[in-house]
Amino acid sequence: MPSLCRDCLTRFETGRRCPACGSPRVLSHPELFDLSIAHMDCDAFYASVEKRDNPELADKPVIIGGGRRGVVSTACYVARIRGVRSAMPMFQALKLCPGAVVIRPRMQVYAEVSRAIRVMMEELTPDVEPLSLDEAFLDLSGTTRLHGAPPAVMLARLVKRMKDELGLTGSIGLSHNKFLAKVASDLDKPRGFSVIGKAETADFLRDRPVRLIWGIGPAAQGALEKAGIRSFADLLRWERRDLHERFGAMGDRLYDLARGVDRRRVSAHAPIKSISNETTFDEDTGNPEILDGHLWRMSEKVADRTKAKGLAGRVVVLKLKRADHSLLSRRLALREPVQLADRIYRTARGLFDQVEEKGPFRLLGVGLAELCPEAEAERSGDLLDPDAAQRGRAERATDEIRRRFGKDAIRKGRALR
């Protein structure tokens, strides 16, 4: 069986240890050198960066997240042993792991590291589709001749380089499509390298739960369970037509995925569907002034990102989380796409004013959806708001000042609330 040493990258035929370096970190799989779609997922990315930069933290439980009130964005493996998971509220994480070192995320640092990893990945193939700062799909089809080595070797070399040059570890999933590659990368984290071959796909999936599918959350799971679908085997009993009738487009996708079929391409330029920002407050609040300040800051952040990407959006979304963590969201489809923070804020503010509940809330978010090119944005004014054009010009001028002298060079009073 084709085998590969993950330490010295020697290729050989079957053996439990590498014949060259004696390492036990050996990968063996009948299709090892034939598969080319991969998913790379860094191990506890934020926490690993922090541990790398501060070796004293090495064996301590580390949680990255926003203060006592926020949620866990990443927990290192030491903290995970105690049951801490990402997206868990911080108070709960600290209950499970009282000795944890909580660190506020340093997004700029993570973004830099992420860029370095991206450069390494792009040396392997132009088809890199980042999903976030710490994970990406790679399509290495047709690169064997170029690199003089099959994808599996290049991927093993990638994680080795990440470890040697950046001090970070990652896990690789290698398979014949995106769905299975993503599933594979999660199979033996951390420092994992898992392969799901074509021949074993059906056996592999059969008894696994459908929640394995990325995008099947609790709600979809509930709907599927009502139809008696828990595992892939359950799905296989359904005709495509029936799945489509019951679940729409998702039904079609489920039919294919149940058979291990996923035709989505790895695309370096996956279109962005929405842009949003949210913040969890230090303490729950129903104070309209404070909420208004958050509303403005979130709108401005969304506008900044939207402008940076040359986009605009037709739908403004307002998201509020009540003290009991339940979610309240409102959306408004506008007659024309918007990009300016002023327009996003005013729309979100209108939605906010229509919410009859007075709080307290623990989180506020603003988003923009149904994106389009910025040329289509703000093409007509509002008869009833003749000052809008002037405010728009003021915002553009402010942007220019911020671009030249830094983000905090000029701010609205509202932002200080």
Partner 1 sequence: MKISIERGTLLKAVAQAQSVVERRNTIPILANVLIEAEGDTASFRATDLDIEVVDKAPAQVERAGATTVAATTLHEIVRKLPDGALVTLTADSAAGRLTVEAGRSNFSLATLPKEDFPVMASSEYQSNFSANAAVLRRLFDKSKFAISTEETRYYLNGVYMHVAEADGLKVLRCVATDGHRLARIDAELPAGAEDMPGVIVPRKTVGELRKLLDDDEQAIAVSVSETKVRFATPTITLTSKVIDGTFPDYSRVIPQNNTRRLEVDAADFAKAVDRVATVSSERSRAVKLQLDEDRLVLSVNAPDSGAAEEELAVAYADERLEIGFNAKYLLEIASQVDRENAVFLFNSSGDPTLMREGNDLSAVYVVMPMRV
How many chain residues are in contact with partner 1, going by CB under 8 A?
A: 19
Q: What tokens does 350 get?
A: 């209108």
The CA-atom distances, in angstroms, between 127 and each of 118, 130, 142 are: 11, 10, 11
Q: Interaction with partner 1 in 256-275: which residues (CB under 8 A)?
A: none
Q: Which is nearer to partner 1, 145 or 335 (CB)?
A: 335
314's tokens: 């037709």
Residues 74 and 63 sit within 8 Å (Cβ to Cβ)? yes
Q: How far is the CB of 353 from partner 1 (least distance, A)?
A: 8
The alpha carbon of residue 239 and the mean position of all alpha carbons in its chain are separated, in whole angstroms, by 32
User: Please, what is the minimum distance in Å from the beta carbon of residue 386 to partner 1?
Assistant: 8
Report how far residue 321's alpha carbon sits from residue 297's, in angstroms, rounded to the nearest whole number.
17
The 8 Å CB, 24+ separation contacts for 247-250 are 247/223, 250/220
Contact 216, 210 (CB under 8 A): yes
Nearest-approach distance from CB 374 to partner 1, in angstroms: 12
Phi and psi at 85, nearest 5°, equal -130, 155
Smallest separation, CB 375 to partner 1 (Å): 9
Q: Are 85 and 71 contacting, i.e. CB atoms less than 8 angstroms apart?
A: no
Establish whether 292 is an annotated binding residue.
Answer: no
x/- track of binding to partner 1 for residues 346-365 (CB under 8 A): -x--xx-xx-----------
Residues 309, 302: contact at Cβ < 8 Å?
Answer: no
Q: By CB under 8 A, is residue 339 in contact with partner 1?
A: no
Look at residues 49, 43, 47 and name the one whose alpha carbon lies nearest to residue 101: 47
Nearer to partner 1, 113 or 318 (CB): 318
* Binding pattern for the stretch 367-396 against partner 1, x by CB under 8 A and - elsewhere: ---------x-xxxxxxxxx--x-------
Exactly one of 335, 390, 404, 408 binds partner 1 (CB under 8 A); that residue is: 335
3-state SS class at 56: helix
Least distance CB 383 / partner 1 (angstroms): 5
Phi, psi (5° rounding) for residue 17? Answer: -125, 155
Nearer to partner 1 by Cβ, of 154 and 371: the residue is 371
Q: How far is the CB of 220 from partner 1 (least distance, A)?
A: 25
From 135, 300, 378, 395, active-site residue: 135
Paired tokens of 323: 């003290």
Stretch that binds partner 1, among 44-52, 163-171, 277-285, 330-338 (CB under 8 A): 330-338
User: By the 8 A CB rule, do 282 and 264 touch?
Assistant: no
φ and ψ at residue 391, rounded to 5 degrees: -65, -35
Q: Which stretch binds partner 1 (CB under 8 A): 32-40, 72-80, 134-142, 343-351?
A: 343-351
Q: Which residues pair with 311 in a beta bridge?
A: 373
- 99 vs 381, which CB is nearer to partner 1? 381
Is position 332 an interface residue for partner 1 (rule: CB under 8 A)? yes
Q: Which is nearer to partner 1, 139 or 395 (CB)?
A: 395
- Do 38 and 151 meet the contact criterion of CB atoms below 8 Å apart? yes
How far apart are alpha carbons 274 and 271 in whole angstroms? 9
Residue 413 interacts with partner 1 (CB under 8 A): yes or no: no
Question: Any known ligand binding at 41?
Answer: yes
Residues 67-86, one symbol each (x = binds partner 1 by CB under 8 A, - = not), give: --------------------
CB-nearer residue toward partner 1: 172 or 351: 351
Whether 56 is catalytic is no
Q: Which residues are annotated as a binding site for Mg(2+)?
A: 41, 134
Report the interface residues with partner 1, using CB under 8 A: 332, 335-336, 347, 350-351, 353-354, 376, 378-386, 389
Positions marked catalytic: 135
